[in-house]
Amino acid sequence: MSLVKSISGIRGTIGGRVGEGLNPLDIVRFTAAYAVSRKKDDKKLRIVVGRDARVSGEMVEKIVVGTLLGMGCDVINIGLATTPTTELAVIGEKADGGVILTASHNPKQWNALKLLNERGMFLTDAEGKEVLAIAEKDDFIFAEVEELGIETKKDYLPYHVENVISLPLVDKEAIEKANFTVAIDCVNSVGGIAIPAILKALGVKNVIELNCTPDGNFPHNPEPLPENLTQISDLMHDGRADVGFVVDPDVDRLAIIKEDGSMFGEEYTLVACADYVLSHTKGSTVSNLSSSRALKDVTEKHGCVYSSSKVGEVNVTTEMERTGAIIGGEGNGGVIYPASHYGRDALVGIALFLSHLAHKKCKTSQLRAEYPDYQISKNKLQLTPQMDIDTILIALKGIYKMYDIDDRDGVKINFPQGWVLLRKSNTEPIVRIYSEAPTMEQAQKFADAIIAEIKRLTGSK
């Protein structure tokens, strides 16, 4: 059984002893702590709750809603809803926060409480630490009977869909005229409700649906990586669809499949959407340190400025606000478009991508060929007791001091033809080593050189 407590929320496997898994007592404790952290005055709190379709969702929802009511909070329960829908609902309701019940791409035995502030954004580092500190004390005062909260149930998907199709750069007329055939894989979660709805609103009449029953029985590993997407890839290999879209269980990540069944590349979801936005509106862009250099290349091609952030969605959105970026996100297929809201949103990604494809009047594979081609190698190294990762990172900075080095989040070494990023995991005794270059062979060489240096420095084999 696993329970992981972090600033962005609480995630764990369902069941087990208290403190070992995400069980009812722990759900109550962390939900109550979140309610306390949101309370800034005597005003009654209003909290939005939404969930993905995983099997444990209904159980967790009842406990979270009941706890919030018991803490004297009014709850707007939007039921089965995507993560971006819940984020938008917080804004639409002018609520004091939100709780999203989703373990994102984790397998079905996992669930999580993802916590939002009053702006529909994930908690900051300070806000998250406050929740954890309150939960640690385990000393709560629940509401008297006259002060219990009231639950209201609403469906916010129509609001979300209208928000997306109303965006000035979403060209419904062009999409409808293009008469696309679109294949989708929604991994039997809330995407099975939301993705057909947005496609219909965009005027897409020909949709091939895979795994769109929102019952939480994931037909394959729910992380939208190439090795997990063989079903839709096999379906599309003969060109029966113009493009394929795959989402994770909470619909904040978007993977794109080319018309021949091959992968567009998760790093290039954001790149393509940014290219479209920048071709119409000049402005800056942001992605995190582990995302592809391709976004920087495309941004500079449009005469605009790119900047990077530490890894983590809240860090990306913070940097986007600081720089006034018009689009940003993460290389895992996460598109953040502030014209809609500050959160990764696959519905926004689909609308922008289809608008782009319709304007280009080309095949999905031809569009992908327009972008710089980089390959990312993802490696990890098990930490042993004799490995002091902080000392190792300092040593590596000295060894590679002739190159541009970014040490905001681990150590990133920028070479002329690529980069390597080393970060210590927050949840496992490992160091992650990501590298990028024009070829996978070169990317792996970068990573292997760093791993060899680490082993030399620690005297390990």
* Residue closest to 248 by CA, chosen among 2, 22, 52, 427: 52
pLDDT digits (tens, 9 = 90+) for 354-380: 999 999 999 999 999 999 999 999 898
Indicate which residues carry an active-site annotation: 104
How confident is the model at residue 8, as a pLDDT?
A: 65
pLDDT digits (tens, 9 = 90+) for 144-162: 999 999 999 999 999 999 9
Mean pLDDT over residues 14-39, rounded?
A: 91
pLDDT digits (tens, 9 = 90+) for 46-90: 999 999 999 999 999 999 999 999 999 999 999 999 999 999 999
Q: At what angle do helices 346-360 and 83-93 cross, to 10 degrees?
A: 110
Q: Are 181 and 240 in contact (CB under 8 A)?
A: yes
How confident is the model at residue 461, as a pLDDT?
A: 65
User: pTM score, two decimals?
Assistant: 0.94
Cα 31 to Cα 9: distance, rounded to the nearest angstrom:
10
Mean pLDDT over residues 87-94, rounded?
A: 98
pLDDT digits (tens, 9 = 90+) for 382-412: 877 777 888 889 999 999 999 999 999 999 9
- Over the chain, what is the mean pLDDT? 94
Q: Residue 4: is its pLDDT beyond 80?
A: no
* Residue closest to 14 by CA, chosen among 26, 28, 29, 5: 26
pLDDT digits (tens, 9 = 90+) for 406-429: 999 999 999 999 999 999 876 567
How confident is the model at residue 428, as a pLDDT?
A: 66
Q: Residue 1: is its pLDDT beyond 60?
A: no
